[in-house]
Chain A
Amino acid sequence: MKRDLNHPPLPEKSTLWRSMSELEKTPGFEDLLLREFPRGADVYQDSGLNKRDFMKLMGASMALAGVGGMTGCRRPEAYLVPFTKGSEWTIPGKFLYYSSALPIREGAIPLVVSTVDGRPTKIEGNPLHPSSNGATDAFAQASILDLYDPHRSKQITKSGAPATFEDFSAYLAELVAGKPGNLAFLVERKNSPTRDLLRQTLETSYPGMIWSEYEPLGNEEERAALNASFGEGVRLVPKFERADVILALDSDFLSPSDRGVGYASGFYPRRNPDQKGAPMNRLYVVENHFTTTGGMSDHRLRCKASEIGEAVRRIAERVSNAVPGGSLAALAGASPKSQAAFDNQWLDVCADDLIAHAGRCIVTVGSQQPAWVQSLVFGINEALGNLGSTILAANTGERPAASISELASAINDGKVGTLFIFGGNPVYNAPADLGFADLLAKVPDVIRLGIFEDETSKLSKWQVPAAHYLESWGDVRTFDGTYSSVQPMILPLWNGISELEILALLAGRPKPDGPELVRETFAQLTGASFLPKATEPAAPSAIPITSALPVFSSEAASQSWNDFLRTGFLPESAFPLAKPSFDASGVASLIQASVPSTSGLELVFLQSSSVDDGRYANNSWLLETPDFETKVTWDNVALLSPATAEKLGVSPNNFSWIYKVAEKMGNDIDFDIVADVLELSVGGKSIRAAVLVAPGHADDSISIALGYGRTGVSALMENVGFNAYPLRDSSSLRFRTGVDAKVTAEKYPLARTQEAKSMYGRDLVREGTLARYEKEPKFPQTMGMDGHIPPNLSLYSNPTLTSPEQWGMTVDLNTCIGCNACVVACQAENNVPVVGKDQVRKNRDMAWIRIDRYFAGDPANPEMLAQAIMCQHCENAPCETVCPVNATVHSEDGLNLMAYNRCIGTRYCANNCPWKVRRFNYFDYNQRPIEKLYWGPLAKKGMADSLKLSKNPNVTVRMRGVMEKCTFCIQRIEEAKIGRLVEAGPRNKNEFPISEFKVACQQACPSDSIVFGDIKNPNHRVSRLRASERGYTMFKYVNANPRVTYLARIKNPNPLMPGADLVGMANGVPHDSHADHGSSETHDAHTATGNDHGAENPSAIKPGAEKPAHH
C-alpha cells in the first residue's frame, strides 16, 4: 500500500499550477515553446515542423510530463513552513488580540484588533475602555481593508521619479541643518499628545513655523463659538444619560463617526421604555435631511439648514420669556431675524417642553452651523440651567492651530517655502475659493505623506507613502480625554512612514523604530521614569492584551506602560469635568458678524455615510454599503423634497415611493432607478449630480454627500458619484444659499439595495407610543395578522433541538439607528465579497445582514424606521425543505446551517426564504476583478496577495455557484464551545459554562441593539429580551418560528405637539386589543371594520403588489 514517492525539487516560487510547471520543464516541450511562440509563424515553417510533428511532440511532452512527475494526477504539493525562531505570544492558527485606537476628528474609537499569524484580520471595539461601550462605527470596521489595499502608495517619489528613503532623509537632514524660517505644516485634526509635543519642539527650532489643521468636516464654527463663550480650549461634554428631553438642531449626535462611540452611549439606556427609575427620554430633531438621529426622533421638524439659526432664535425668545433674567434675552434680541415660514406651534411646544424640563434637557446643534447659532444654543442651555447639570465642560488644553485659510494667505504672501502635508487631500477637498491646486504651485517644496497617490500627491514634489494606523506607533486622546495607545499590528506593508517619524526626523532625532516617542509622552503624562536609553532592552514589540507577561524588568513604571499598551488606555486620564461658565459678552461680536440670507435654494454638504469626507473613497466595502437613508450604493445623490422636485421638474420616476405617482402609473413602477441629473450652479461654478427624491427632506433645500467623484487612485473609484467640493467655499462649509438648479437631459443609473419604501401592510416593523405600551404592553404581539393565527398546523416536524444550548438573537428596533456598523462588521468577519455597482443593480449584493429602511406617515414628512435583517435561523426553516441536496440543514443547537461543499446552486432555498436573506455567488467574486466578471476565464484570476491577508482564516471563502447567508457567526460559536471542551478536558463538560462571546454584528453595534446568546439559559440577556412584551417575530403566520426576535419601537410623543396623534403609527391607527379576539375569527372578517392591519393609516402608503422588501 505504501508508495515511496520522491520529494520533487522545491519550486522556486510557489505556483498554483504545479503540473503546468512540470510540463514546462519537459525538454521537448520547452524547446517547442521557445521556437514556436517568440519568433512566430515563419520560424514554424522554417523549422520543418509540420502539424503532425507538432502533435507528436506535444503528445510526447504530455506523456513525459505525466510519467516524470505524476504529480499532476494527485493533489498539489503543499508545505508546512514553521518559523525559524518562535515569536513571542504567537501560536499558529490562534487569534492574538491587541488594543489600539482609530484616531478620528474629535477623538478616537478604542479598538481591539484580532491578529492571526502576524496579520490583523478584524477590528472590534475595546470594551475595557472608559469612553467606549465596546462598539465601533462602520468606518473603523472598514479601515482594515485600507491597510491591505493593493492601490496604496508604495514608493517614495521625488518630482515623479522613484527615490529612496535615504534620499528623503538626506533632504530632511538638509532642512534640520538649514533651519528654514518658512516651514509650514498642513495636518489632519488629531488629538495626539506626542504629535503636540513634537510640534512644540519644532516650533522652537523652526521660528515662524506655521502649523495648520484642516478637516473638511471639521468644527471650526463650534470651536470659534466655544472660544468666545467659554474660553480657549474648552469642550462641552453632554451627559445624555441625564437628559429627559433632547433637542437636536442640524445635529447628528447619534452618529459615532465624529466623536467616537462613547459620546452618545448614554442616550440609549434612557431610550428604553422598560428602564427602572427614570422616564423614557424624548427627542426633538430639527434638520433639513434625514440623519440617523432624525430617524430616532419623536418629533421632527423639517427646516432648511440655513434657517436653523432662525429656529434657534425663536426658541431662545420663548425660553428667555419663560426664564427671565440672564443674558439670553439680549442675545436673542441681537440675533439676526429672518422672515422664514415656520411651524411656530412646533417650536413653541418644543420650547415649552424644554422649559418644563429645565436642568434635565439638552439642546445640541451641529458643529458646522455658524458660530452665532452655536453661541445662542449655549445661551439657551445656560438659561435652562443645563450647564453644569446635563452639560459639563472639559478643558482640553489644546493649542490652537492655524486654519487652512490662514495657511492659504501665508502662501499667497510668499511666507511658505516648504510645506508638509500629512494625510488629508486638500487639492480635492479644500474650500474651492482657496484654489488650493494653484496655491501649491507657489510653494517651492511640497512634501506629501499620503496613504494613496492621490490628487494632492500629483502636485507635490515629494510623495511619501504613509504608514496606516495599524502599522505605526502613536497615541491619541478620545473625546473624553482618556489617553489611548495606537499600536502597530504589522510592519509597514509597503515601507510606509508615520507622521510622528517625519516630525522626529525634522526635530533632528534618529528615525524611531519602536514606541520611544510615545513612551516619552507617557512618561511625561504619568510622571513615571524609565530606564535611561542606554540600558534599555531592545525595542519591545507590541503587547497583546491577552498576555500577562511583563516586557521589562520589574519596574513599576514599565508595568504601567505595559498595562497602558495591554488595555489600550491610561486609567483616569480623562479631562476633569466642571461646570461650564458661559460668558455672554464674548458672543456679541459673533452675532454682529453674520447676517443670514436664506432665500432661494440652498445646497447642504453632508458627511457621506460611506466614504466620510472622501478618505474612504477607495474602500470597496464602504462603497457597496448602502447609505442608511437612500439605500444607494456606489454613488452619492442630490437629495431633495418631493415638492422641490416637482417645482424643478424632476421626472416622476424619481418619485417612485409616492403613492400618488404609484397610482397614476398603475402601481407599475420601474424599480430600476434611472435618475435625472441635476445641474447645480452658484457663484459661477457648477456641478452635476444625479437626483433622488427623499422623503422628509426640507423644501427648497438640496443635500449632497461629500467625498465622491474622485479619480486617479484606482479603477474602483472611477465613475463613482459626484464631487460637490467645487461649490463649497470657506464661508459656506455647511450650506450654500442662492443655488441655481436645473434638470438636464442626462440620465444616470443608480444601484439601490432596497427600492420598496413601505411594508405593504405586512407589519414588518412594529411601533407604538409609550402611552399605548403602558396601557397595552403586548400590543406588538397582536399586530397585523398575529392576533388571528390558528394553532400550529405544520405538516413538518420540528428538527431535533437536543443541544443544551440553543442560539438566538434579539434586535431592539427602539435603539437601532441604521448606522451600518453591523453591515461592515459582518463583511469583515465573514469574508463577504464585494460585487460592484452593476451587480447590485441586478440585486446580487452579497451582504449577510442588511438594514431595511421604511418610511411611515405623510410622504412629505414621514417617520423613518430602520430594521436590521439577517438569517432568522427559523426552527421550521422554509429553505431546508426545498433543498434537493441537503446542503442547508438544521443543527441540534438551532442553527440553520449552510454546507457550501454540498450546494449545487439551485437557488430554491433563496426563492423560498420569506426574509430574502440568502445570497448566491453568481460569479467568482473573490477570484475575478469586479469590472471583468463577464469575461469569464479571460479575466485575470486570483486576488491581490495583500487582500488575501485580510481574510478571516476561520471562515470559508466561497466560490462561484454556491449559496451563502448569515451563519450566526458559527466560527465564534464553535470556538466558544471548543474552548469549553478544552477547559473541561477529561471532566464532565456540563460543569463548565460556555464563555461569553459576541457575534460580529453585536460586537460592532454602537447602540447595543443586537443581543445574541443562549435562549435556553434563563439568566442570559437574550432570553430575558426574547420574553419582553415588545418582542415579536416577523411573518409569524408563516409559522417558521424564527430565532430572531425584534423588539418593537416605542415612541414618546408630546401630546401637545401638532400631529402627535400620528407619531408611532407606522402600522396604522390601533383599534381595540386583539387579545380578546378568538383565534377562530378570520382575518377577513376584520378588514372592513378599520383596524391596524397596516394600510388603514390615512397617510400611509397604500398596499401595492405584494412585493418583498428586497429583490
Chain B
Amino acid sequence: MANLFPKWTNDLPWKVAVIGGTIVVLLAAGITYYFTPKYTRVGYQPTQPVPFSHVIHVQELGMDCRYCHSFVEVASHSNVPSTQTCMSCHTQIKAQSPKLEAVRAAWNNGAADGPPVNWVRIHRVPDYTYFNHAVHVNRGVSCFSCHGAINEMQVVYQHEPQSMSWCLDCHRAPENFLRPPEEIYNMNWKAANVDEQKKIGQQFKEEWDVNPPVTCGGCHR
C-alpha cells in the first residue's frame, strides 16, 4: 500500500505540539502581563486640569497629607480638597499664577459658584469593591503603601497595580507593611531593612490584633 502521507509528516505531531504549545505559552504570558492591572494601570499619569505638584507642597513646603485630604482618618473616601482649601493659601501666594486659572474660576472671587475643578481620577477600584481609607491609615498602613512616593511626584501617577491579588498580599501578611503610627504620613520613612520591617510589623500585628479580612465580604458587599 502506498504511503498515504509523505514522510515529512512523521515529524508533524511534535512540531505542531511544540509550536502550538509555544503559542499557548506566549499567549498566556502575554495576557498575564499585558491584560492585568500591573500593566494596564501602573503608570497611568493623566494630565490634570491644574498642574499641581506634590513635590512642592509636600517635599519642599512640608505640608501634611491631611491638610488637604482632611477626612482620610474618618471616612472611607479620602477627599480631594475643596477649592476653598486651595484658596486659603492661594489668595495670597501665587494669586495670579496662570496655572491656577481653573481654581480661580471655580472660586470666582469667593462666591465659590464657578465650575468645579474636574480632577482626573487615577486610583480606582471597581464599583463592587469597597475600600476604606480610615481603617487603613488608623491601623498602621501608610499612604505610601498604596500610592507610592507621592511626595516625589511632580504629576501623580499610579504606582501600584491595586489589583485584588495585590490587596491580598498585604491582607495575608500585614507584618510586611505595618509601620509605627507616627510615621503613617511620613512618606520618607522606611524600615532599616526587611528583617527590621518584619520584626516591628509582627510586633504591631500582635499588639493591635491586626487581622485583616481575607473573605469576600471584607471588601465586596
Residues of A within 8 A of B (CB): 1-7, 10, 74-75, 77-86, 91-94, 889-892, 895, 897-902, 954-957, 967, 970-971, 974, 978, 981-982, 984-990
Q: Shortest Cβ distance from A694 into chain B, in angstroms?
A: 40
Note all chain B residues with C-beta closer than 8 A to A987.
207-208
Q: How far is the CA of A94 from the CA of B78 in the complex (A)?
A: 11
| B208 and A897 contact, CB distance less than 8 A | no
Q: Find the A residue at minimum CB distance from B184.
A: A986
Q: How far is the CA of A80 from the CA of B73 in the complex (A)?
A: 19
Note all chain B residues with C-beta closer than 8 A to A4.
45, 47, 155
Partner-binding segment picked from B5-13, B19-27, B188-196, B210-218: B210-218
Note all chain A residues with C-beta closer than 8 A to B209.
988-990
Of A77, A83, A897, A985, which is within 8 A of B217 by CB? A897
Q: Shortest Cβ distance from B174 into chain A, in angstroms?
A: 12
Note all chain B residues with C-beta closer than 8 A to A5.
44-47
Note all chain B residues with C-beta closer than 8 A to A77.
46, 120-121
| Given known A-B contacts A82-B119, A91-B71, A955 and B47 have beta carbons under 8 A apart | no
Q: How far is the CA of A74 from the CA of B220 in the complex (A)?
A: 24
| B116 and A81 contact, CB distance less than 8 A | yes
Q: How far is the CA of A366 from the CA of B44 in the complex (A)?
A: 68
If A93-B77, A982-B134, A990-B209 are given as contacts, then 18 extra A-B residue pairs at C-beta distance below 8 Å, sorted by A number, are A7-B47, A7-B48, A78-B121, A81-B117, A82-B81, A91-B71, A91-B74, A91-B79, A899-B220, A901-B128, A956-B128, A956-B221, A971-B221, A974-B130, A981-B135, A982-B74, A987-B208, A988-B209
Q: How far is the CA of A617 from the CA of B113 in the complex (A)?
A: 39
Note all chain B residues with C-beta closer than 8 A to A899.
216, 220
Q: Shortest Cβ distance from B97 into chain A, in angstroms?
A: 18
| Given known A-B contacts A84-B83, A92-B79, A974-B130, A955 and B139 have beta carbons under 8 A apart | no
Of A79, A889, A901, A982, which is within 8 A of B118 by CB? A79
| A75 and B124 contact, CB distance less than 8 A | yes
Note all chain A residues with C-beta closer than 8 A to B121.
77-80
Q: Find the A residue at minimum CB distance from B158.
A: A2
Note all chain A residues with C-beta closer than 8 A to B130.
954, 971, 974
Note all chain B residues with C-beta closer than 8 A to A2.
43, 45, 157
Return 17 A-B CB contacts under 8 Å, by A number: A7-B120, A10-B49, A77-B46, A77-B121, A79-B119, A83-B84, A84-B112, A85-B84, A86-B82, A92-B77, A891-B217, A892-B215, A900-B128, A956-B220, A970-B221, A982-B73, A985-B181
Q: Find the B residue at minimum CB distance from A990.
A: B209
Q: How far is the CA of A988 from the CA of B206 in the complex (A)?
A: 8
| A974 and B138 contact, CB distance less than 8 A | no
Q: Shortest Cβ distance from A1096 into chain B, in angstroms?
A: 44
| B208 and A989 contact, CB distance less than 8 A | yes
| A986 and B45 contact, CB distance less than 8 A | no
- 9 A-B pairs with the lowest CB-CB distances in the bound complex, closest first: A7-B47, A93-B77, A85-B112, A986-B181, A84-B112, A78-B121, A891-B215, A899-B216, A84-B83
Q: Shortest Cβ distance from B199 into chain A, in angstroms?
A: 17
Note all chain A residues with C-beta closer than 8 A to B113.
84
Q: How far is the CA of A75 from the CA of B112 in the complex (A)?
A: 31
Q: Shortest Cβ distance from A125 into chain B, in angstroms?
A: 23
| B119 and A93 contact, CB distance less than 8 A | no
| Contact size range, B | 35 or more
Note all chain A residues with C-beta closer than 8 A to B116.
81-84
Of B44, B132, B213, which is within 8 A of A3 by CB? B44
| Given known A-B contacts A75-B124, A84-B84, A10 and B181 have beta carbons under 8 A apart | no
Q: Find the B residue at minimum CB distance from A11.
A: B118
Note all chain A residues with C-beta closer than 8 A to B204.
986
Q: Shortest Cβ distance from A22 into chain B, in angstroms?
A: 15
Question: For the complex, would chain B's binding face be called helix, strand, loop or mixed by DSSP majority?
Answer: loop
Note all chain B residues with C-beta closer than 8 A to A957.
127
Q: How far is the CA of A889 from the CA of B107 in the complex (A)?
A: 50
Note all chain A residues with C-beta closer than 8 A to B140.
986
Q: Does B42 contact A (CB under 8 A)?
A: yes
| Given known A-B contacts A84-B83, A974-B217, A974-B221, A985 and B138 have beta carbons under 8 A apart | yes
Note all chain B residues with C-beta closer than 8 A to A94.
71, 74-77
Of B82, B124, B221, which is within 8 A of A83 by CB? B82
Q: Shortest Cβ distance from B169 into chain A, in angstroms?
A: 19
Residue of B49, B113, B127, B217 contacting most chain A CB atoms (<10 Å): B217
Note all chain B residues with C-beta closer than 8 A to A955.
221
Q: How far is the CA of A987 from the CA of B209 in the complex (A)?
A: 8
Note all chain A residues with C-beta closer than 8 A to B49.
7, 10
Q: How far is the CA of A598 from the CA of B127 in the complex (A)?
A: 62
| B138 and A889 contact, CB distance less than 8 A | no
Q: How far is the CA of A86 from the CA of B204 in the complex (A)?
A: 36
Q: Does B80 contact A (CB under 8 A)?
A: yes
Residue of B40, B43, B84, B128 contacting most chain A CB atoms (<10 Å): B128
| A986 and B208 contact, CB distance less than 8 A | yes
Residue of A78, A902, A990 contacting most chain B CB atoms (<10 Å): A78
The contact string, 1 if C-beta is below 8 Å from chain A, for chain B 164-200, is 0000000000000000010000000000000000000
| A967 and B221 contact, CB distance less than 8 A | yes
Of B84, B181, B218, which is within 8 A of A86 by CB? B84
Note all chain B residues with C-beta closer than 8 A to A898.
216
Q: Shortest Cβ distance from B30 into chain A, in angstroms?
A: 15
CB contacts under 8 Å to A, within B109-160, are 112-114, 116-121, 124, 126-128, 130, 132, 134-135, 138-140, 155, 157
Q: Does B85 contact A (CB under 8 A)?
A: yes
Q: How far is the CA of A363 from the CA of B144 in the complex (A)?
A: 70
Q: Find the A residue at minimum CB distance from B108.
A: A84
| Given known A-B contacts A85-B83, A956-B221, A982 and B135 have beta carbons under 8 A apart | yes
Q: Find the B residue at minimum CB distance from A987.
A: B208
| A970 and B217 contact, CB distance less than 8 A | yes
Note all chain A residues with C-beta closer than 8 A to B55.
none
Q: How far is the CA of A94 from the CA of B74 in the complex (A)?
A: 9
Q: How far is the CA of A94 from the CA of B73 in the complex (A)?
A: 12
Note all chain B residues with C-beta closer than 8 A to A75.
40, 124
Q: Shortest Cβ distance from B11 into chain A, in angstroms?
A: 40
Q: Shortest Cβ distance from A630 into chain B, in angstroms?
A: 34
Note all chain A residues with C-beta closer than 8 A to B58.
none
Q: Shortest Cβ distance from B155 into chain A, in angstroms?
A: 8
Q: How far is the CA of A795 from the CA of B76 in the complex (A)?
A: 41
Q: Shortest Cβ distance from B2 into chain A, in angstroms?
A: 49
Q: Shortest Cβ distance from B212 into chain A, in angstroms?
A: 10
| A84 and B107 contact, CB distance less than 8 A | yes
Q: Shortest Cβ distance from B147 into chain A, in angstroms?
A: 14
Note all chain B residues with C-beta closer than 8 A to A982.
73-74, 134-135, 138
Q: Find the B residue at minimum CB distance from A952.
A: B221
Q: How far is the CA of A892 from the CA of B171 in the complex (A)?
A: 15
Q: Does B100 contact A (CB under 8 A)?
A: no
Q: Shortest Cβ distance from B183 into chain A, in angstroms?
A: 11
Q: Does B106 contact A (CB under 8 A)?
A: yes
Of A3, A79, A82, which is within 8 A of B83 by CB? A82
Note all chain B residues with C-beta closer than 8 A to A91.
71, 74-75, 79
Q: How far is the CA of A185 from the CA of B157 in the complex (A)?
A: 63
| A10 and B118 contact, CB distance less than 8 A | yes
Q: Shortest Cβ distance from A890 into chain B, in angstroms?
A: 8
Q: Shortest Cβ distance from B12 into chain A, in angstroms?
A: 37
Note all chain A residues with C-beta closer than 8 A to B135.
978, 981-982
Residue of B79, B157, B204 contacting most chain A CB atoms (<10 Å): B79
| A74 and B40 contact, CB distance less than 8 A | yes
Q: How far is the CA of A811 from the CA of B87 in the complex (A)?
A: 55
Note all chain B residues with C-beta closer than 8 A to A78.
120-121, 124
Q: Shortest Cβ distance from B165 into chain A, in angstroms?
A: 14
Note all chain B residues with C-beta closer than 8 A to A7.
46-49, 120
Note all chain A residues with C-beta closer than 8 A to B82.
82-86
Q: How far is the CA of A3 from the CA of B122 in the complex (A)?
A: 13
Q: How far is the CA of A902 from the CA of B219 in the complex (A)?
A: 13
| B114 and A84 contact, CB distance less than 8 A | yes
Q: How far is the CA of A985 from the CA of B140 in the complex (A)?
A: 8
| B138 and A1 contact, CB distance less than 8 A | no
| A891 and B119 contact, CB distance less than 8 A | no
